[in-house]
Structure 1
């Protein structure tokens, strides 16, 4: 798959409703868009094996235990504690090979397997750390895919929230802490992380690609196009920056004044 083909797939995914969002294939397209011409089949094979094993466990174990045992024990998916900042930890092709990654990347495999096996599992955009919400007969529970899918107790959720800077009256509200996000938002969080890392490394080409993926995945949000424009401006691609700003301006949003200031700034450099 080429980078252009990956962009076409991401564009199509961006047009899908949240209920029909193709999480696994969109995650593969994101990985190929960053580093093209790789074989994505191991990702699909791992995902299929996960769904099959989870389906076999469901009748004998609770949904959360079955999911944890399948993903962390059977398939050895876990967080990369040693090389946390390794770029491949956000890439599902790399994660499928190494069985190591960051929470949001591991969550792609958890959510996909759960969906195929009939387990209700959604991402939780928890401050500083992506978690999973799994529905059980006793109520929803939180799992940490980075730590071998272990159960995160409500008291620990509150402690984590307080450490992340949330106020006490918010940190005590489990309905807020465990609010699920869409599959689309799960994948966008990964791209946000890549964008931030690329900016810190002054790698503006990578920053542009990750911002572009966000723009394609969520075409109703103007903000990724502003990031695309900023990354292109840093590379001296001022015409491309203006094109991105025009795309941002085409998305209906009250922040028009900010976008117009950005356009004027770039145009002044062209003159």
Structure 2
């Protein structure tokens, strides 16, 4: 798969609705878009194994236990405790090979398997650490893909929220802490992480790619195009920066003045 083919897949996914969002294939396209011409079949093979094993477990165990045991015990998908900042931990192809990754990447396999097995699950955009919410007969529970899919108790959620800087009023609200997000938002969170890392390391080419993926996945959001423009400007690609600013233009009237100012600043550099 080429980078252009990956962009076509992401564009199609972005134009579709949330109910039919192709999480696994979109995650593969994100990885290929970063580093093209790799074989994505190991990802699909691992995902199929997860679906098959989870379906076998359902019935004999609760949905949350079946999901965590399948992904963390049977398939050995867990967090990389020693090298959390390694680039491979955010790449779904590398994660499938290493069986190690960050929560947001591991959650792709959790959510894909849950969907196939008929479980009701969703990502939770928890501060600093992505979680998976699973609906059970006793109510929703949170699993931590990074820590062997273990159950995160409400008291621990509150402690984590306080450590992340949330106010006590918010940290005590489990309905807020466990608010589900769409699969689209789950994958965008991963791209946000990649963008932040690239900016910190001044890898503006990688920052541009991750921002572009966000823009394709959520075409109604103007903010990724502003990040694309900023990354292109850092690389000296001023015409490309103006093109990105033009794409952002008109998507959100509230930010119109900011975009116009940025557009004029970049345009003046070309004169």
Q: Distance in 2 between matches of 1:133 and 1:25?
A: 21
The residue aligned with 2:14 is 14
Unaligned runs of 5+ in 2: none
Give the TM-score, by structure 2 length.
0.99
Q: Distance in 2 between matches of 1:169 and 1:267?
A: 46
Q: Distance in 2 between matches of 1:253 and 1:184?
A: 23
Runs (4+) off by over 4 Å: none
Give the TM-score, by structure 1 length.
0.99
CA distances 1:95-151 after superposition (whole Å, capped 9, x unpaired): 000000000000000000000001111000001100010001111000000000000
Displacement of 1:59: 1.0
Answer yes or no: is 1:65 the counterpart of 2:65: yes
Aligned counterparts, 1:40-79, within 5 A: 40-79=40-79
Alpha carbons 2:250, 2:256 under 8 Å: kept:
no
Unaligned runs of 5+ in 1: none
Answer yes or no: is 1:3 the counterpart of 2:37: no
CA distances 1:37-61 after superposition (whole Å, capped 9, x unpaired): 0000000000000000000000100
Displacement of 1:250: 3.6
CA distances 1:196-245 after superposition (whole Å, capped 9, x unpaired): 00011110000000000000000000000000000000000000000000
Answer yes or no: is 1:27 the counterpart of 2:15: no
Alpha carbons 2:142, 2:152 under 8 Å: kept:
yes
The residue aligned with 2:99 is 99
Answer yes or no: is 1:117 the counterpart of 2:83: no
- Alignment length (residue pairs): 271
Displacement of 1:251: 1.5
Alpha carbons 1:222, 1:253 under 8 Å: kept:
no
The residue aligned with 1:140 is 140
Answer yes or no: is 1:223 the counterpart of 2:223: yes
Q: Distance in 2 between matches of 1:110 and 1:217?
A: 20
Q: Distance in 2 between matches of 1:119 and 1:77?
A: 19
Answer yes or no: is 1:153 the counterpart of 2:186: no
Q: Distance in 2 between matches of 1:170 and 1:230?
A: 33
